[in-house]
Amino acid sequence: MVLSDVQTPDEISSSFISSVFASRYVRDPLPRYRMPENSIPKEVAYQIIHDELQLDGNPRLNLASFVTTWMEPECDKLMIESMSKNYVDMDEYPITTELQNRCVNMIADLFHASLTKTKQGIGVGTVGSSEAIMLAGLAFKKKWLNKRKAEGKPFDKPNIVTGANVQVCWEKFARYFDVELKEVKLSEGYYVMDPKKAVEMVDENTICVAAILGSTLTGEFEDVKLLNDLLSKKNKKTGWETPIHVDAASGGFVAPFLYPELEWDFRLPLVKSINVSGHKYGLVYAGIGWVIWRSKEDLPEELIFHINYLGADQPTFTLNFSKGSSQIVAQYYQFLRMGMEGYKKVITNCMESAKLLQKGLENTGQFEIISKDQGVPLVAFTMKNKSKTFPFQLSKALRHHGWIVPAYTMPANVEHMTVLRVVVREDMGRNLVEKLVSHIKGAVFELENAPAGIPRIAFTVEVKSSDDYGNGDKGGVLHIPATSIQWKQHKPETVGKEVQVMGDKTKGVC
């Protein structure tokens, strides 16, 4: 089943794909909905696909995405060399497994986990933070279920407390695994989860409170330290043991380098697990995430599967089985290549570029910045004295320059706000920032000074069938001054049509 469709009506109506330069080798168009009968030369297959991909956006100008779009050629080479390795074949590819374990240890240490006596962190590589969140959520649910069963209490209504600003993967987890999602509503000027309100929503069925280190909407860090302190008091008063999970998908590789004194990780006793995206500020191409647990006791053993059909015992805790090795190798390359010093330089440069963009937008007098100084390197902003739809028009206008800048409405309670957001990644240098500001100013000027619009006239006609059309078919002729339409239809209906007028003359009736 195809779940998404981005084709135009004309493309949908055609069941064939025409080639351009590849037509030198292939004369017949290729079928769109079935596999071709015959093989074609490799050069032709490449050219056909290459031509179509030209219509995709430029990844470097995609300012909507947190995902890394540039890596060093040496790392690209390592990824290509590792593409054919299936990561789950641990016994066949022991070095790849070792590299993953080293990454887990390094991330656990970065997040201040107390490593076990064997110096091993507890965690696993995933295809992204979405899978990591699913695994962390399952661990919380299983621990809560076991505890409730042992106490002889009902265990049919688990819930998670989050802010309304959470990423959609949390809604997926709740729906897929039958967990109620209790969301703390946002408020004017405060666009992240309020720890006080979150703790008030916690009850005996709460399997965890999820805090976000780097909100998708504004990049802001939630106050995990305050949440930990307030929740500790409530746990002590009620006898509950409600834990915290930190969704650090965006901020996990930012905070340790920009704000090393900020307490948000395993330094806080109630934080039991953390997820982070290696393919965001971990500086790896899309397809790698990580989830780390405080200790082995926080990951129920019953969730771990032990497989031995390929050789030695292979413990696995993932939602999928087969997985490429390239991103894991790339993550280890970045850790080895960059070190703490390198990551700090890259993230600091990203933040400086974000500040330059913010200053440029503020100097126009057209925008209000809603992102905070402490957060991930992005700039979220609204427009002053403009309609709610104007940011969408600006977003569309910037596409003419190649920029992809998302515009979106905020969640409940602040849905009247329309926000534009620019994510600053490593590949967005100062020159691109200055060019973006220039294009934004130009686009706003053009939108503000665009003509009021082409005047329109609207008319409604009642269409009646007739037997005079000929050949026994029902149809008729509709006469309008200065023009006419010949029509044919099966059922009588009332038709409404808008006609554009230019120079006091009708441009066309249909």
pLDDT tens by residue, 34-74: 898 888 888 888 988 898 899 899 999 999 999 999 999 99
Burial class (CB in 10 A: 0-12, 13-18, 19+), 469: middle
Task: Say what the pLDDT of residue 315 is.
Answer: 75
How would residue 347 be classed by pLDDT, with cut points 50, 70 and 90? Answer: very high
Provide the mean pLDDT of the chain.
87
The Cβ of residue 281 has, within 10 Å, a number of other Cβ atoms equal to 29
**pLDDT at residue 95 is higher than 60:** yes
CA nearest 109: which of 284, 324, 256, 280? 256
**CA distance to 172, 212, 293, 343, 450, per residue, from 209 (Å):** 16, 10, 15, 29, 49
- Indicate whether 97 pLDDT > 70: yes
Domains of the chain, by residue range, sit at: 76-337, 346-449
Average the pLDDT over each of 254-268, 271-285, 373-387, 445-459 and give the range with the smallest value: 445-459
Tell me: pLDDT of 499 over 70.
no
Average pLDDT of the residues in 13-24? 60
CA 72, CA 62: separation in Å to the nearest integer?
Answer: 19
Residue 429, both tokens = 């240098």
Out of 3.40.50.620, 3.40.190.10, 2.10.109.10, 3.40.640.10, which CATH number does the structure's domain 76-337 have? 3.40.640.10
pLDDT for 432 beyond 90:
yes
DSSP 22: G
With bands split at pLDDT 50, 70 and 90, how would you rate the model's confidence at 3?
Answer: low
Instruction: Supply the pLDDT for residue 435.
Output: 97
Phi, psi at residue 353, to the nearest 5°?
Answer: -65, -40
pLDDT of 224 reads 98
Residue for token digits 């009247």? 416
HEC string of 431-491 equals HHHHHHHHHHHHHHHHHHCCCCCCCEEEEEEECCCECCCCCCCCEEEEEECCEEEEEECCC
The pLDDT value recorded for residue 179 is: 98
Instruction: Say whether pLDDT at 4 is over 90.
Output: no
Question: How far apart (Å, rounded) are the C-alpha atoms in residues 454 and 43?
Answer: 48
**C-alpha atoms less than 13 angstroms from C-alpha of 309 in its C-beta half-sphere:** 3
Cα separations (Å) of 184 from 7, 144, 241, 247, 259?
A: 38, 22, 20, 16, 26
> Which amino acid, residue 307?
I
Backbone angles phi, psi at 24, to 5 degrees: -65, -25
Range picked from 229-233, 413-417, 469-473 for highest mean pLDDT: 229-233
Range with lowest mean pLDDT among 28-37, 358-367, 429-438, 458-467 = 458-467
Sorting pLDDT into bands at 50, 70 and 90, what band is 421? very high
pLDDT-derived band at 115, boundaries 50, 70, 90: confident
Question: Which architecture, in CATH terms, is 346-449?
Answer: Alpha-Beta Complex (3.90)
Residue 17 burial (C-beta neighbours within 10 Å; 0-12, 13-18, 19+) = middle
